């Protein structure tokens, strides 16, 4: 038995610590920044910068991984650089330029890795290794939930700056696990019979491959709007908690419950996707994003705001594995990592940049109540686009 062979359990541990590190930084960054003296507008711009660089670097890392089969070394190297950037941010105080520089490095490195990790798992799974992506990603949600819950208490007692040290420890564990996984040989282009591309088929340039893929473009645009409204609400969620009279403990519980609720849906996603068309699963998931935003708007207390986050389970729990499997099915064989990494750079990265920058300015001018009123409507645009396309496709089949 090869103890370094890739397996579901090994990737589950990788996801556990990786997403624990993500919540350690991103869930508490806004209160940290406002606590050291930045305005809400500045905090929004910095959070936008977290996702700005990754818009370009996620697909770039994916393209490099497609060409080199170097997922392992890319992930390990970028995580190490991210540790240095976050420790440097801790020592930057309230100097906007220094904090922004550290955030941009983090965006270039660790924040650009989630989709590449997904792509690595799908690549290995496509080569015949029995890896269950839903289970592995479910452990990522578990890491996110457990870390958020623990951090809420720890940071309330010892102070928000401790989050940078905690992140560094978790990132080091990720690096160790990544380096422990044996590097596989490149997978042949036609290795998975469930994918649409024929063995050896080429589609020319990556830009042409993306622009000529109608189902992929529709997915990008639809989920972009869903995440635009969602990220506007989630980036400033700590401020909503404080507005309702909550503390960092409530912030931690909000993050914990929303991630924990994803776990059972992640675990059963593979079973569901074998029996229900991925497009229908994605539409259902998008609809629950809108429902959660509506409930967040009308939640009257910190406790009710925490309880609302359970709706995220079916939303993210089905959207993430559903989109990963759907993209793997419709992407050209030679650009699968590119397609996997470009998607979140658009509907998560670009949406987060706009939500953070515009949301911060909107918040200062109109207030939190207005922000949480607009967010569900914006996300609803994505549901209408995707749902409308399914209706039109059904009518074409009947005509």
Q: Does residue 84 lie in a domain region?
A: yes
pLDDT at 167 over 90: yes
pLDDT at 99 over 70: yes
Mean pLDDT of 131-153: 83
pLDDT at 383: 95
pLDDT band at 234 (very low <50, low <70, confident <90, very high): confident
Mean pLDDT of 321-348: 84
Q: Does residue 1 lie in a domain region?
A: no
Mean pLDDT of the chain: 83
Give the whole-number percent of the chain exceeding pLDDT 90.
26
pLDDT in tens, 256-297: 787 778 888 888 887 888 888 888 899 999 999 999 999 999
pLDDT at 6: 66
Mean pLDDT of 109-131: 83
pLDDT at 191: 40
Say how far apart CA 293 and CA 312 lie, in whole Å: 10
Mean pLDDT of 317-339: 85
Say how far apart CA 26 and CA 48 lie, in whole Å: 11
pLDDT at 186: 46
Question: What domain range is 125 assigned to?
Answer: 9-182+212-398
pLDDT at 227 over 90: yes
pLDDT at 188: 43
Name which of 62-66, 149-153, 378-382 the model is least confident about: 149-153
pLDDT band at 43 (very low <50, low <70, confident <90, very high): confident
Name which of 60-64, 199-203, 208-212, 388-392 the model is least confident about: 199-203
With helix as H, strand as E and coil as C, how does the chain read? CCCCCCCHHHHHHHHHHHHHHHHHHHCCHHHHHHHCCCCHHHHHHHHHHHHHHHHHHHHHHHHHHHHHCCHHHHHHHHHHHHHHHHHHHHCCCCCHHHHHHHHHHHHHCHHHCHHHHHHHHHHHHHCCCCCCHHHHHHHHHHHHHHHHHHHHHHHHHHCCCHHHHHHHHHHHHHHHHHHHCCCCCCCCCCCCCCCCCCCCCCCCCHHHHHHCCHHHHHHHHHHHHHHHHHHHHHHCHHHHHHHCCCCHHHHHHHHHHHHHCCHHHHHHHHHHHCCCCHHHHHHHHHHHHHHHHHHHHHCCCHHHHHHHHHHHHHHHHHHHHHHHHHHHHHCCHHHHHHHHHHHHHHHHHHHHHHHHHHHHHHHHHHCHHHHHHHHHHHHHHHHHHHHHHHHHHHHHHHC
pLDDT at 183 over 80: no
pLDDT at 326: 86
The domain spanning residue 332 has which CATH number?
A: 1.20.1250.20
pLDDT at 291: 95
pLDDT at 338: 85
pLDDT at 115: 84
pTM over 0.85: no
pLDDT at 189 over 70: no
Mean pLDDT of 27-37: 83
pLDDT at 396: 64
Name which of 207-216, 227-236, 348-357 the model is least confident about: 348-357
Q: Does residue 191 lie in a domain region?
A: no
Mean pLDDT of 106-134: 83
Q: Does residue 269 lie in a domain region?
A: yes
Q: Does residue 200 lie in a domain region?
A: no
Name which of 49-63, 206-220, 314-328 the model is least confident about: 49-63
pLDDT at 33 over 90: no
pLDDT at 3 over 70: no
Quote the number of domains for the chain: 1
Give the whole-number percent of the chain exceeding pLDDT 70.
91
Q: Does residue 4 lie in a domain region?
A: no
pLDDT at 77: 95
pLDDT at 19: 92
Q: Does residue 188 lie in a domain region?
A: no
pLDDT at 194: 41
pLDDT in tens, 191-223: 443 444 433 344 567 888 888 888 899 999 999
Q: Does residue 305 lie in a domain region?
A: yes
């Amino acid at each position: 038995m090869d103890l370094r062979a890739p397996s579901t359990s090994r990737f589950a541990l990788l996801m556990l610590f990786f997403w624990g590190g993500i919540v350690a930084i991103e869930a508490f960054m806004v209160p940290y920044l406002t606590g050291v003296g930045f305005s809400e507008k500045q905090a929004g711009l910095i959070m936008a910068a977290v996702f700005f660089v990754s818009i370009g670097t996620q697909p770039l890392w994916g393209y490099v991984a497609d060409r080199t089969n170097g997922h392992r070394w890319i992930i390990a190297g970028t995580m190490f650089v991210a540790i240095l950037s976050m420790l440097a941010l801790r020592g930057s105080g309230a100097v906007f330029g220094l904090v922004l520089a550290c955030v941009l490095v983090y965006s270039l490195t660790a924040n650009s890795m989630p989709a590449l990790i997904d792509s690595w798992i799908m690549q290995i799974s496509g080569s015949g290794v029995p890896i269950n992506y839903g289970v592995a990603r479910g452990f990522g949600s578990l890491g996110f939930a457990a870390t958020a819950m623990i951090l809420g208490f720890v940071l309330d007692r010892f102070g928000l700056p401790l989050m940078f040290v905690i992140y560094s420890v978790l990132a080091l564990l990720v690096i160790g696990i990544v380096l422990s996984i044996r590097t596989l040989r490149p997978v042949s282009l036609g290795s998975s019979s469930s994918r649409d591309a024929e063995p050896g088929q080429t589609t020319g340039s990556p830009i042409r491959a993306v622009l000529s893929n109608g189902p992929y473009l529709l997915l990008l645009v639809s989920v972009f709007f869903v995440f635009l409204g969602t990220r506007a609400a989630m980036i400033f969620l700590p401020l909503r908690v404080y507005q309702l009279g909550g503390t960092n403990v409530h912030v931690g519980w909000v993050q914990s419950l929303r991630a924990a609720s994803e776990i059972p849906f992640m675990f059963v996603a593979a079973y569901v996707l074998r029996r229900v068309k991925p497009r229908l699963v994605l539409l259902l998931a998008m609809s629950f994003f809108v429902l959660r935003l509506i409930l967040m708007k009308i939640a009257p207390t910190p406790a009710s705001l925490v309880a609302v986050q359970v709706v995220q389970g079916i939303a993210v729990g089905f959207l993430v594995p559903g989109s990963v499997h759907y993209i793997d099915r419709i992407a050209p064989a030679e650009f699968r990592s590119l397609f996997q990494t470009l998607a979140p750079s658009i509907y998560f990265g670009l949406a987060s940049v706009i939500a953070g920058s515009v949301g911060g300015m909107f918040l200062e001018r109109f207030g939190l109540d207005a922000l949480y009123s607009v967010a569900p409507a914006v996300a609803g645009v994505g549901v209408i686009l995707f749902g409308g396309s399914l209706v039109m496709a059904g009518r074409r089949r009947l005509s």
